[in-house]
Amino acid sequence: MTAMMQGGAVAALEMQGLRKSFGRTEIIRGIDLSIAKGERHAVIGPNGAGKSTLFNLITARFAPTAGRVALHGQDLAGMSPFQINRLGLSRSFQITNIFPKMTVFENVRCSLLWSMGYRYSFWHMVGNSRALTEGAEAILEQINLTARRDLPAGVLSYAEQRALEIGITIAGGADVIMLDEPTAGMSHSETDYIVDLIGKVTQDKTLVMVEHDMGVVFGLADRISVLVYGEIIATGRPDEVRGNPKVQEAYLGAALEAEH
Amino acid sequence: MTDQTQNAPRFGGMNTAAVAPWVIAAAFLLVMPFIFTSNSAITIMNQMSITIIFALSYNMLLGQGGMLSFGHAVYMGVGGFFCVHIMNMVEDGGLPLPLPLLPLFGGLFGLGLATIVGAFSTRKAGTVFAMISLGVGELIAACSVIVVAFFGGEEGVSGDRTYGLPVFGVEFLQQIEVYYLIAFWLMLSALLMYLFSRTPVGRMANAVRDNPERAEFLGYSARWVRFYSFCAAGFFAGIAGGLFAINYEILTEENLNLTQSGAILLITFLGGIGFFFGPILGAIVFTLLQTVLSLQTELWQLYLGALFVATVMYFPGGLAGLLMMHAPALRSGRAGRLVLPYIKTLGPALIGVLALAGLIEMTFHLRHASLGDHHMTLFWVDLDSHSLVPWLVFAAIMAAGFAVMRRNLPELLSAWHSANATGDRS
C-alpha cells in the first residue's frame, strides 16, 4: 500500500505546532505531522520521549498548550472524547481499558451500538437485533475470542484482554485507529500474534500506533516518526528511518547501549 | 433495526426461559392473598411490593449505573406527595381520575424532579454524585417544614383514595383491592425496568459504570448515559411513591428524609446489586424483618445493622450473589453434595447466633426493664434475667453451636470444592 500524501487530499490527521507543558516542563515541543488517509503510521521513541502525551493530545484527552490537531481537516480543539469518536477516530489505551464486569460479547456489542445508530435508545431491545449480534460475533471471530464469548472480560489473560481492547477499538467502524503501545508487556510470541492481528483488522484504515520498540512496527508501518524529547527528529519509510544517523544516535544507539 | 432472530436462546429475546420467571412471579402475586388471608399479612405484602419497586429503581442507579445515591427517597416522596394532592383534587370533585392511573402521575412527577436534579448531578459519578445526592436529599427534606402548603409540615398531607372514579365497580375500600392494584403496578414496573436494562442505553449504563472513559471513546457521553438512567430511576421511584400514597393515604417528612434514602441503599445492597432480582430479595427480607421481627424485639434494627455489616464484609454480592454462587454446582448436578455439610455447619451456626441474640436480649432487659421486673420470655421460655442460670445456659449453647460449626467447616469447604471442581472447561 502506498502511503505518501496524495496531492490535494485532506490528511486523515494533521498536527501543527503542537505543544504541551505540564507546569514548567515542556513535554511536547512543537510537532508538525501529517498522516495520510489509509497510511499506517508508527510513532516510536525511547521512554519519556512524550509518546503517550502526544497520543493523548491527538485524542483530546489532554488539551494542547499551543498548536492544533485536525481530523479529516476538522479542528479537534475543545471536543469531548465522544464527539471525536463520532467523527471517526477510535483509540486503545496503554493500560488495558475494557469493561471488566461485562462479558466479552457485551464488550464488543457495546462498542457497536453508537455506530449502528442506536444512540441513547430505550425502546430497542439489543437482544433482538440480528445485525448487532452478528456484527459483534464477526468481530469476536476476527480477534479469535469466539470461545471466550460469555466470560467476564476481567478474567481473560493479558494478551486476550489486549486483543479484546483492539476489537473494541475497531468495532465502531472508525476510519482512524489509534493504538497506544498495543504490545506492551507481552512475550515475543504474543507480540507477533498481536501485530498480525493489528495488520489484519486495520486494512483500508488509517492507523496511528505508538510503540517503544522499532522492531515491532518495522513490518507493519508504512512510515515511522521518531520522537525524542518531545520533538520529531525523523519521519520516513522504515528503512530510511533505520538508516538515519540522527535516529541511530539518539534512539537506537541508546537502546543498543542499554542492551550491551 | 428490530429484525427478529431465528434461534431464540442465543439472542435472549422473548423465549420460554426468559418468560417463565415473569409468569411464575405473576402467578405468585395472584395466589398469595389466598394463602395469607389476614389483613395484616396483606398490609405487609403491600408494603413489600412498594419497597420492591423502590429498590429496583434504586438499583438502576447503584447496580446498573454505578451511581451511589444518598437521596433516592426524594423521588419516591415527591411522587407520593403529588399523588396525595391529586387524590384530594379528585375528592373535591374537580378531577375525574380513576385511582389505578394515579401511580403513573407519581412516576411523571418523579421523572420531572429527576430531570431537573439529574441535569447537574450526573456530570460525574463517584463521590461528587454521592455528595450532590445527599445535599439535594437534605434540601428537599428540609423543604417539607418550609413549604407547608405542599408538604404539610410535620403532620404531612393525607388523602382518601376512595373518591376516584370506580373502575368496574371497584372503589378500593378494601385492602385486597389495593393489593391487586399494587401487584399490577409491581409486575408492570419490574418488567419495564428489566427491559430497560436490555436496551442500548441500559447496556451502556453498565459500560459507563465499569469504565466511563472507555465508553466515551465508543461515542457515548458518559454524562448523558447516566442522565437517562437517573431519569428512569426517578420515574419508577415516583411510581412507588404513588402506590405508597394509595396504600397509606398519607405522606410525611419521613418519606423524604435521609433515613429512608439510607434504608433503600441498605435494602438494595443486602439483596445484591449485581443481579436484577437482588433488590427484590432485599426488599422481601427487609420488610419481613421490619414487620415480623420488630414485633418480637425492640432491638430489630441492631440485628439488621449486623446483617448489613456482615453482608458488606463477607458477601458483597448480597443475597442474590450468595444464591448465584451455587449456579455452577446446580448446573453440573453436584449441588446435592452440599446439602448435608450445609446442615451440619449452618444449623449449629444458627443456634449459636440465636443464643447470642438471647444474651443480647437479656442484657437489654437487665438495663431497660422497669425496676423489680425480672421476668422475661425468650424463645417461648419464661426466665429470670437477674439469675445466673439462663446466662450460663445461653452462653454454653452459643459456645457449643459455634464450636460445632467450626469443627464442621472444613467438611463444607471440601464439599464446596468438589461440587465446583470444573474439570477441564478451558
Q: Is the CB of residue A81 less than 8 Å from the CB of residue B216?
A: yes
Which of B64, B220, B225 would best serve as a mutation to test chain A binding (most A beta carbons within 10 A)? Answer: B220
Q: Indicate yes or no: CB of B207 within 8 angstroms of CB of A102.
A: yes
Q: A–B: how many Cβ contacts below 8 A?
A: 126
What per-residue confidence (pLDDT) applies to B6? 37
- To the nearest 10°, the Cα dihedral for B189, B192, B197, B200? -150
| The three cell numbers locating residue A76 | 479537534
Q: Is B1 in contact with A129 (Cβ distance < 8 A)? A: yes
H-only helix segments in B198-299: 200-210, 212-216, 222-248, 258-271, 278-288, 294-296
Alpha-carbon distance of A42 to A32, in angstroms, equals 15
pLDDT at A258: 54
| ipTM of this complex | 0.82
pLDDT, tens digit, 9 for 90 and up, residues A198-253 = 999 998 999 999 988 888 888 899 999 999 889 999 999 999 988 888 888 776 55
Residue B234 confidence (pLDDT): 97
**What is the CATH architecture assignment of B21-324?**
Orthogonal Bundle (1.10)
Q: What is the DSSP string of A17-34?
A: EEEEEETTEEEEEEEEEE
Chain A residues within 8 A of B10 when measuring between CB atoms? 133
Residues in chain A whose beta carbon is closer than 8 A to a beta carbon of chain B? 59, 80-82, 85-86, 90-91, 93, 97-102, 106, 109-111, 113-133, 168-169, 172
State how far the Cα of A3 lies from the Cα of A12, in Å rounded to an integer: 12
Interface test with B, best of A105, A106, A129 (most B CBs within 10 A): A129
Q: Three-state SS for B337?
A: helix
Nearest to B228 among A100, A116, A120 (CB): A120
For the domain bounded by A13-259, which CATH number is listed? 3.40.50.300
Q: Are B203 and A126 in contact (CB < 8 Å)?
A: yes
Q: What is the pLDDT of residues A149-207, one digit of tens each?
A: 999 999 999 889 999 999 999 998 899 999 998 888 888 888 988 999 999 999 899 99
Q: Which residue of A has its CA nearest to B66?
A: A101
pLDDT in tens, B364-420: 888 887 777 777 777 777 777 778 888 888 899 999 999 999 998 888 888 888 888
According to the model, what pLDDT value does residue A151 have? 94
B217 to A82: CB separation less than 8 angstroms, yes or no: yes
Q: Which residue of B has its CA nearest to A120?
A: B201
Q: What are all long-range contacts of A237-242, with beta carbons under 8 Å and residues at least 24 apart?
A: A238/A214, A241/A214, A242/A214, A242/A218
State the Cα–Cα distance between residues B193 and B22, nearest whole angstrom: 13
Local confidence band at A256 (pLDDT 50, 70, 90 cut-offs): low
Position B12 pLDDT exceeds 80: no
Q: Which of B11, B305, B358, B33 is nearest to B175 (CA)?
A: B33
pLDDT in tens, B164-204: 777 777 778 888 899 999 999 999 999 999 999 999 999 99
pLDDT of residue A213: 80
Distance CA B343, CA B329 (A): 17
Which tens digits make up the pLDDT trace of A126-141?
988 899 999 999 999 9
Q: What is the pLDDT of residues A87-116, one digit of tens each?
A: 999 998 877 789 999 999 999 999 999 988
Average pLDDT over residues B322-350: 87
Query: Scanning every residue of chain B, which has its alpha carbon at the shortest distance from the alpha carbon of A134?
Result: B11
* Among A97, A127, A169, beta carbon nearest to B11: A127
Torsions phi, psi for A58 (to 5 deg): -65, -40
CB neighbourhood size of B120 (10 A): 10
Nearest-Cα distance to chain A for B299, in Å, is 38
Contacts with A135 from chain B: Cβ below 8 Å? none
Alpha carbons B306 and B299: distance in angstroms, whole number: 11
pLDDT value at position B1? 34
Which DSSP category does A249 fall into?
I
pLDDT at B330 over 90: no
CA A180 to chain B, closest CA, distance in angstroms equals 14
Instruction: Return d(Cα B52, Cα B58) in angstroms, integer.
Output: 10
Domain boundaries, given as residue ranges, for chain A: 13-259
- The answer to whether the CB of B114 falls within 8 A of the CB of B230 is yes
Q: pLDDT category, B422, cuts 50, 70, 90?
A: low
CA dihedral sign of residues A35, A40, A45, A51: positive
